[in-house]
Amino acid sequence: MFCLILKKRVLVLSIVGLLLAVGILAGVLAVKSVYSPKPTYTIVIDAGHGGEDGGAVGKTTNVKESYLNLQYALCLQKMCSDFGINVVMTRSDMNGLYSNAAKNKKKSEMKKREEIIKKANADMVISIHMNSFPLRSSKGAQVFYGKGNKSGQFLAESVTSMLSQNMDNARESAKVGDYYILNCTKKPAILVECGFLSNPEEEKLLQSEEYIHSMCYSIMCGILMYYEV
């Protein structure tokens, strides 16, 4: 009988303990939701081209670079946001960033991108592009950084390291690139050429959801490596 009573008491105490634990946990979660810290970093993700400027075009499917750039940028945005990073997009649709009244729409577009980067007070800039080359056998992702930008070089090397580990044919070294998007800021900035639309095999891969996810995951891992997260 004593054993039965003891078991009942233990059971009651266990239930009470469980209810208390649930109550405490709920309180902690409530406090956390109210006092959740703001994201530490702000990253500008730049989907290259847009509007009238479609960029490179696939040789077999006629897919536009501007469309693919946006798909990769949106995927990377979600991954970074889910990790608690604040993300600012230069564009989130297929429209161009240039002024329709501008005589030089390309210059107008690049100035707008620079304006977005400065307004966001970005800690980092990731520009997404697709490559093209007359030699159809050329393939593989590659990362560029601005000349003299040491932090940009370190970021480019971090992303390159992850891409070369996870993606077939990715180049194993980052290179200096003379691009406006890299030269318009002193913050770490890179331009990622995700692959070659001039290569029929890679053109198909670049449109695969699985490939997009793998590429963006590798870029995000490079970002986290840069921040030593």
Place of tokens 């730049």: 46
Distance, in Å, from the CA atom of 181 to the CA atom of 165, rounded to the nearest integer, reads: 26
Cα–Cα distances in angstroms (integers) from residue 176 to residues 10, 15, 47, 51, 173, in the given order: 69, 64, 20, 28, 10
| Residue 155 near residue 145, CB atoms below 8 Å | yes
pLDDT at 23 over 70: no
Instruction: State pLDDT tens for residues 167-209.
Output: 999 999 999 999 999 999 999 999 999 999 999 999 999 999 9
Residues whose CB is less than 8 angstroms from the CB of residue 167 and which lie 6 or more positions away in sequence, other chains included:
140, 141, 214, 215, 218
The mean pLDDT value of the chain amounts to: 87
What pLDDT does 228 receive?
A: 87
pLDDT tens-digit series, residues 111-137: 999 999 999 999 999 999 999 999 999
* Confidence band for 17, pLDDT divided at 50, 70 and 90: very low
Residue with tokens 């007070």: 121
Q: How far, in Å, CA of 158 to CA of 76, rounded?
A: 16
For every residue of the chain, which 3-state class applies, written as one string? CHHHHHHHHHHHHHHHHHHHHHHHHHHHHHHHHHCCCCCCCEEEEEECCECCECCCECCCCCCEHHHHHHHHHHHHHHHHHHCCCEEEECCCCCCCCCCCCCCCHHHHHHHHHHHHHHHHCCCEEEEEEEECCCCCCCCCCEEEECCCCHHHHHHHHHHHHHHHHHCCCCCCCCEECCCHHHHCCCCCEEEEEEEECCCHHHHHHCCCHHHHHHHHHHHHHHHHHHCCC
Residue-level pLDDT at 39: 53
Task: Calculate the CA 51 to chain-centre distance.
Answer: 21
Write down the pLDDT at residue 62.
97
Answer whether residue 9 shows pLDDT above 90: no
